Chains A and B, each alone.
Chain A
């Protein structure tokens, strides 16, 4: 029983991290129709900005203060990178989705290469307060505290994004701009600013995922973004492209599946590791066979 509880909560933690990556991807795709391949690069940049700031802060406060300050810098860098990319690379290619995808592909390659050139291939350690590495007891299971952080952050992002899009004036403008760009422009509202904002938010979400992946794994490395991005793609497709709630549901399913299969698979089959990763791909295949549109069924 306690093993099951442990697997379930750590599975939720893993799912939460996938959702953090997938949310920004889903937001940008859902609103702008841009498949942002550079999302993984945003994530890597946010994670490295945090690690770099933290390593430069030296003796400021205690480790918790340094981490929070560094994480804020990471998020700010994510927002700036997102906005700059939108203005410089995405906006000039408006309505050319193929080229937009291609440009983000190029950006992903360039960013990874740049991070490798500057900081090398080695993983860098992110320092976090010691309580993050401790465990909390729930129903007899010892849950690592970083999983709670992931879950809390994912819930915050989910409800934050929903509230922003449904309850605020900017959210209204963005949704209206998606529906009918020309009409919103005719009303004297600059839709382009709204779309830059969408990208900036996507950048923050990616950077947050990067920072928290640093907490989860304890390190950052140049290929982190790409490897997480692939799981985020799987989550986004299972959930239904462009649906943030669908992504949240799919992230939970994927995280739990991976965790259960990894544990019970290795116990009962004594098979190779990585079974959990493979089961996720299998899950994707099954979902597509049953519901080509994903769980939320937005697709044809």
Chain B
């Protein structure tokens, strides 16, 4: 093994082990975390950061690696959240049966919707995925047969869950599940991207026409990436459900997908570490900015500054725009400040070639 191969295995493994020990340690980073890492509140925040690190990476698999700009990723995440919750709470299915059902639907649904939406490319694809996700949001809002709980959301029936996943005392178990999820997504995405279909995905991003000329059908490969990414997002939805203990309609909205896009771009499009960092950082800021806005330093500001600062989305949106302008490569490529990464250039061309008749 070359030094590079050793490093590619060693760094993730060391990081994984270190993160696995976090619930056993008592670390408090002032301002950044709300309390010591062995307290349930902080552990839950850390677990959320891990879940969104993973989900952001599933989005990057589509956007950064295959060049597909989807605005409907929320649908598949919400599927994991809602279907599992409904099966356990409304139909009184066992935990295992609910997971199985979610897994099956989590494969079939993206296969169906993906084969329709991938008939168009570029911006049209983005809008079609958005429309499908909108249908999901409408369904959840309409609350058919009182299944989804509408605006109120839906709590999980704790009796169906394994004992080790219930209660504040067991937050560390949920943390480990979230860590396992992020690690699994990382490993699967790396394996998939380096497999031969994965190379075709990147070739599609680079030049779809050339892939076609070679004699491969880009549609099939794009569908593979779409299904894999959606399925992993559904799995992330299940972990999120366990962590939060219920389903809320926010996860079905177009804004939810946009936050995934924001995470990936802030972290670095088309880089595995970037998406992970972006997802974790965004979640941290989203949760901590609110409490920081209540601090004395912000409180003493005039209301013109104070009012917007109290909205985490305002601060994150501004941060996002600044990143797009000045660090287009994201945090992962911060050493190349202001230079546009090749991935974005290729994405640009990918969007264009699929827009106009070839």
Contact = CB atoms under 8 A, between A and B. Distances in A.
Interface of A: 29, 35, 89, 92-93, 96-99, 101-103, 105-110, 112-114, 116-118, 226, 230, 233-234, 236-237, 241, 272-274, 277-278, 280-281, 284-285, 288-289, 292, 294, 299-300
A300 B354 contact: yes
18 contacts: A102-B320, A106-B320, A107-B317, A109-B258, A113-B317, A114-B314, A117-B308, A118-B307, A234-B127, A237-B131, A272-B143, A274-B138, A277-B135, A281-B134, A281-B135, A288-B116, A288-B117, A289-B119
A280 B134 CA distance: 10
Nearest to B67: A98
B358 to A, nearest CB: 6
Interface of B: 69, 116-117, 119-121, 123-124, 126-128, 130-132, 134-135, 138-139, 141-144, 254-255, 258, 261-262, 265, 307-308, 310-314, 316-318, 320-321, 324-325, 328, 340, 344, 347-348, 351-352, 354-358
Main SS of the interface on chain B? helix
B144 A110 contact: no
Contacts of A233: 127, 130-131
B314 A117 contact: yes
A284 B344 CA distance: 29
A102 B144 contact: no
A274 B143 CA distance: 10
Main SS of the interface on chain A? helix
B142 A274 contact: yes
A274 B355 CA distance: 32
B116 A278 contact: no
A108 B358 CA distance: 32
B135 A110 contact: no
Given A96-B348, A288-B116, A114 B311 contact: yes
Nearest to A276: B138
A110 B124 contact: no
Contact of B116 (A35, A103, A289): A289
B318 A110 contact: yes
A92 B139 contact: no
Contacts of A109: 255, 258, 262, 313-314, 316-317, 320
A299 B120 contact: yes
A230 B351 contact: no
Closest 6 CB pairs of A and B: A110-B317, A109-B317, A113-B313, A113-B314, A300-B357, A106-B321
B148 to A, nearest CB: 11
Contacts of A107: 317, 321
A263 B320 CA distance: 43
A295 to B, nearest CB: 13
Given A274-B141, A299-B124, A102 B324 contact: yes
A102 B126 CA distance: 13
A292 B154 CA distance: 38
A223 to B, nearest CB: 9
A19 B258 CA distance: 24
B313 A112 contact: yes
Contact of B344 (A89, A98, A236, A237): A98
Given A110-B313, A117-B311, A97 B139 contact: no
A2 B144 CA distance: 31
A146 B356 CA distance: 39
Nearest to A110: B317
A113 B355 contact: no
B134 A230 contact: yes
B351 A97 contact: yes
Contacts of B144: 272
A195 to B, nearest CB: 18
B123 A99 contact: no
Contacts of A116: 311
A82 to B, nearest CB: 17
Given A92-B325, A106-B262, A272-B142, A230 B130 contact: yes
Contacts of B321: 89, 103, 106-107, 110
Nearest to B253: A226
B119 to A, nearest CB: 5
Contacts of A285: 116, 128, 132
A237 B351 contact: no
Nearest to A104: B321
Contacts of A112: 255, 313
A254 B357 CA distance: 26
B308 A99 contact: no
A68 B48 CA distance: 49
A113 B311 contact: yes
B69 to A, nearest CB: 8
A97 B351 CA distance: 9
B135 A278 contact: yes
